[in-house]
Chain A
Amino acid sequence: MDSAVGRDRAPLIGRSLRLSAGVWRRLLAAMVTAGVPVVFLTLLVIWPLIAVLVRSMAGVGASDVLEIVGRPSVRSVLAFTVWQATVSALGTLCVGLPIAHVLARYRFWGRDVIRAVVIVPFVLPTVVVAAAFGALFDRFGLELDRSVWAVLAAHIFFNVAVVVRIVGGFWARVDQRPAEVAATLGAGPFHVLRTITVRQLAPVLAGSFLLVFLFSFTSFGVIRVLGGLRRATIETEIYRFAIARQEFEVAAVLAGIQVVVVAVLAVVTARFQRRHADIGNRADRATKVTTMRQRLHLVVVCCLAIAVIGVPMAVLVEQSLTVGTGYGFGNYARLLERSPLLPVSAAQALVTSILFAIVAAAVAAVVGILASIAIERGGPTGRALEAFALLPLGVSAVTLGFGYLVGLTAFDLNRQVWLVPVAHAVIGLPFVLAAMVPALRSIDPRVREAAAVLGASPRAVRMTVDWPLVRRAIATGAGFAAAVSIGEFGATSFLARGAGSFTAPLAVFRLLSNPGQQLRGQALALCVVIGVLVAAMATLIEYRRDDGVSLL
């Protein structure tokens, strides 16, 4: 008996020891996965925001805040801001989903090209796109300049990539059997779409809606350049009060309203995002086009894509090739020389942009992986992370920029060159999460359990089960982080600015703020190169040969 008890006891003690080691390891893992993103967001978003709001509100009482919030002008601006962001996001879904669908369904020549090119608008400076739009409107005799329609069209143009790439990436892998079964049983295509596909895609649909909404919510250049002068949003009002009028307390109250909207939005969309996604586990299911009907479908949607994205870009390319009265590559050749207006040559600025983009994409991917594991685990930390990660997209660049000025100067961080790409990564993070969290949630827990039962350690489960399934989602998110970095011009322009951190968009703006045809030509050529570069980077990050060779 004794020996039996002894035998029983010994393994028990051993197991409890192993368990506690496991608990420790899990605790450590939880601390890393939640801790790193929390520190990252606190230092680069929350602390600067608190610092700027506190300084702006010095000496301002609660009654003043209520007075500002209660102004009719503030209310109508808020209403318009939310309205245009909602319509822009819905419009982007309407234009993006058919394209995403075609890319998911069919294998055809040009599929990768569309996927690559669609991300280009994302990084183009508004001023340049607005000029291209203006030229287009003129050519077709449309009186759309300076109207709300121009704003909506531009928002769709800039953001369609979010829907096409994030939703499209999942759609190709969605389990099509339920839809096929429903169709066989006589359900019409729209019925199938509504009852099955939309449900399957709900988390990514909600995620990309959220991203486009926030982008439009805080869009600045589009509103100012295309919207007409007195079409104000919260974002343009913050700029007006902080920069033109120096009424910092009003700007701060408006910034507070932005924070509240982001919070409300995070809570409202969380329900959809938390839904289990029935996607991600499968290989690319696209097939070759076979029937006439499919061919027609493909052609129609490709024409839509070309109309929305291709035509304005073609105008830009044409303008960049205009030299004197003819065409040539003179503007491109000149990118190699240093213009006296710039601290470095445009080519050098491009190199800086590429380096920043690589760092930003890597940081966003690493922090994004850790954060999405914490978010998937759930709990208050996960929920808070999910919401706070959205803040950099939802608060104005001026607010965050002044926040960096106040908050980071305290640590003498604001002049560190490396902080620029890291701050870019903060803005890229929501994209990594929007792609990755649904992917993680889509993993059937039974697969993990099966792996664990068969003896795989938690880490082995992560590496063998989770990693292959989310790899592509990370790549999509990292591609966006790179694009965000290359295009970013707002908040981070408050950080280090010198020859070492002079990026390509800065060069475009500098060139375009002086008279001279040479400068304009160079700026347009630089925009085209930036576009090509972004398309190439996003494609490269996602690239995977059939034998499994890839970057990720």
Chain B
Amino acid sequence: MQYKKLAFFFGAIVTLGSCSFFGDEAGDTSEIAAPDREAVPAGTTVRLLTHDSFTVSDGLFNTFTNETGIEVEVVQAGDAGELVSRALFNAGEPEADVLFGIDTTFLQRGLDGDIFRPYQSPGLESVPDELELDDQHRVTPIDVGDVCVNYWTDGVATAPTSLDDLTDPAVASSFVTQDPETSSPGFAFLLATIARYGEDGWEDYWQQLADGGVTVTSGWTEAYYGEFQAGGGDKALVTSYAGSPVAEVLFADPPVDTPPTGVLVDSCFRQVEFAGVLAGTEQPDAGALLIDFMLSETFQADIPLNMFVAPANADVPLPDSYAAHAATVEDPLILDPADIEANRSEWTQRWAEIVLR
């Protein structure tokens, strides 16, 4: 008899779902006008929701606090996908004021979810037009990180120079990439192949990679440190970032002058990372001021050696050690965020059918 009560309890939890008492609240999505610094009350704290890879130098936000009187609290929410999910799940009732870390591949989903309020920062003047992917300024470009195939220099007979080189079975079999459905660089690399070979050609390309014995992992760490030679594995090529060799030098052990890895520039897919004020925030002005700060020279100059991506502000010079070891990508592969979102499911599903059979 007692079990009936128990079953009822469990049942109640499950079925409660069908009757909703949490309404769908849409936050205010109107444009934020030029923020008035004086209007922000003293002692305001602005919350920045971002991914786990977000790193800045110690005390970087002190500059912002000194200028505006606003404190910054950083909330890290897992990887890029988890970050976007959390923001969409709480759309309209955000847990923070500003989000940083939504990239080209997820952008449209965030825009469709109405999670941002438009704001046109004066700092955008220094940002190249091609990085501004939303003409309504709901998001602001902060950095540029190209996803590229990296290779272990001592592990390849000759350095690959084009995407086509990877289809050679000898190369494909020592290449490890990530599942596009669960990994941000994995998805970017799939997009790179679609941008290069087009709707008609990319499936063929992947068929050749699959026939050649490409390895696929669930995430970046499993690929880089589980399969790639950097982690003691036996794969000589891995999907990573244009800035990865910079980190390989900065965190080398023992110290080195040249990175043990190289970048296949032909494979690079451009990922712009954006920040935006979250719809529903109670302090849009403070949020807008933080966006301004993130485009300022102070913040932008701090990006390269902490997050190993390039600043969006074209006026900010790259640190020497970054410029020396990061790949220069003149002509990256690009796709329109709306196209990406419209085809995402279909592409990843087709990919799975070809590669994971």
A residues bordering B, Cβ < 8 Å?
Answer: 46, 49-51, 53-62, 65, 127, 130-131, 134-135, 138, 224-225, 228-230, 239-240, 242-246, 248, 252, 256, 259-260, 263, 266-267, 319, 323-324, 330-331, 339-341, 379-380, 383-384, 387, 402, 405-406, 409, 414, 493, 497-498, 509-510, 512-521
Contacts and interface: CB of A to CB of B under 8 A. Distances in A.
A346 to B, nearest CB: 14
A319 B224 CA distance: 16
Nearest to B252: A517
A229 B6 contact: no
B254 A324 contact: yes
Interface stretch (B62-70, B75-83, B270-278, B288-296): B75-83
If over half of A's interface residues share one DSSP class (helix, strand or loop), that class is named, otherwise mixed; here it is helix
B6 A54 contact: no
Contact of B7 (A263, A380, A509): A263
B17 A53 contact: yes
Most buried by A among B10, B52, B74, B95: B10
25 contacts: A53-B14, A54-B16, A56-B17, A58-B22, A59-B24, A65-B18, A127-B226, A130-B222, A229-B179, A230-B352, A230-B356, A246-B88, A256-B13, A259-B14, A260-B10, A339-B251, A380-B2, A387-B6, A402-B86, A498-B74, A513-B220, A517-B251, A517-B252, A518-B252, A519-B251
A323 B181 contact: no
Interface string B225-269: 110001111100000100011011011111000000100000000
Interface string B1-14: 01101110110011
A330 B85 contact: no
A465 B345 CA distance: 63
A267 B18 contact: no
B20 interface: yes
Contacts of A267: 3, 6
Interface in B1-47: 2-3, 5-7, 9-10, 13-14, 16-18, 20-24
A244 B53 contact: no
Given A54-B21, A515-B230, A259 B225 contact: no
B285 to A, nearest CB: 23
B53 to A, nearest CB: 6
Nearest 4 CB-CB pairings of A with B: A516-B251, A57-B17, A58-B20, A256-B14
B355 to A, nearest CB: 9
A130 B253 contact: no
Most buried by B among A59, A248, A513: A513
Contacts of B328: none
Most buried by A among B109, B218, B244: B218
A222 to B, nearest CB: 11
Contact of A521 (B6, B253, B308): B253
Contacts of B78: 493
B95 A131 contact: no
Contacts of A518: 251-253
B182 A131 contact: no
A384 B14 contact: no
A405 B251 CA distance: 35
A380 B6 CA distance: 8
Given A260-B10, A383-B2, 8 more contacts: A53-B17, A54-B22, A58-B22, A134-B233, A229-B217, A229-B352, A384-B6, A512-B221
B55 interface: yes
Given A246-B88, A497-B75, A263 B6 contact: yes
Most buried by A among B84, B85, B250, B261: B85
Contacts of B230: 515, 517, 520
A242 to B, nearest CB: 6
Given A324-B253, A387-B6, A131 B24 contact: no
A131 B82 contact: no
B90 interface: yes
Contacts of A521: 253
A60 B18 contact: yes
B197 interface: no
A244 to B, nearest CB: 5
A246 B234 CA distance: 35
B54 to A, nearest CB: 10
A498 B23 CA distance: 31
Contacts of B225: 127, 131, 512, 520
Given A53-B14, A134-B233, A513 B221 contact: yes
Contacts of B306: 340
A225 B226 contact: yes
A230 B244 CA distance: 28
A405 B86 contact: yes
B218 A229 contact: yes
Nearest to B23: A58
Most buried by B among A54, A229, A230, A515: A515
B239 to A, nearest CB: 12
Nearest to A334: B253
Contacts of A409: 95
Contacts of A512: 221, 225
A331 B251 CA distance: 12
A406 B16 CA distance: 16
A388 to B, nearest CB: 8
B124 interface: no
A300 to B, nearest CB: 32
A340 B17 contact: no
B116 to A, nearest CB: 16
Interface string B180-222: 0110000000000000000000000000000000001111111
Contacts of A131: 225-226, 231-233
Nearest to B106: A246
Contacts of B253: 323-324, 330-331, 516-518, 521
B85 A515 contact: no
A225 B217 CA distance: 7
Contacts of B53: 513-514
A379 B1 CA distance: 11
Contacts of A54: 16-17, 20-22
Contacts of A513: 52-53, 220-221
A230 B9 CA distance: 34
Most buried by B among A46, A246, A384, A497: A246
B187 to A, nearest CB: 9
Given A127-B222, A515-B224, A319 B232 contact: yes
A259 B226 contact: no
B251 A248 contact: no
A256 B52 contact: no
B16 A53 contact: yes
A62 B17 CA distance: 9
Contact of B252 (A224, A240, A259, A516): A516
A258 to B, nearest CB: 10
A402 B52 contact: no
Nearest to B3: A267
Contacts of B90: 405-406
B221 A53 contact: no
